[in-house]
Amino acid sequence: QNLAKLIKSENVEDPELFSSDETSNEIIEYIYDDENRIIQTKQSMYLAETKNRINMDCFFINHNKYGDWTKGYCSANKKNLGDFKREIEYW
């Protein structure tokens, strides 16, 4: 079974309660596979300034022999934000 860790900001409240001059809140969920490699993040942010909620999902793939991801992609509100990759040098 996949491991999941949910991290909430200190004051996650109903978005309707925020006025336009208050800061945003954010919920981030980290999802790991059975080998404890991160495979996905789910972020939900309420922006008080625009009164919009942004839902962003990122997926991490092509894990190397050390368990580190080397490629990924993200989408926000079901719109593709693009792909990315990283190179890791071990010493």
Per the model's pLDDT, the better-predicted residue between 24 and 74 turns out to be 74
Tell me the C-alpha distance between 16 and 33, whole Å.
35
Q: Does the model's pTM come out above 0.75?
A: no
Mean pLDDT across the chain: 77
Give the pLDDT confidence of 78-88 residue by residue, as tens digits. Answer: 899 999 999 99
Q: Is the pLDDT of residue 13 over 70?
A: no
* Strands of the chain, DSSP E: 3-8, 25-32, 38-47, 52-61, 71-76, 79-85
Q: What is the pLDDT of residue 26?
A: 80
Per the model's pLDDT, the better-predicted residue between 25 and 58 turns out to be 58
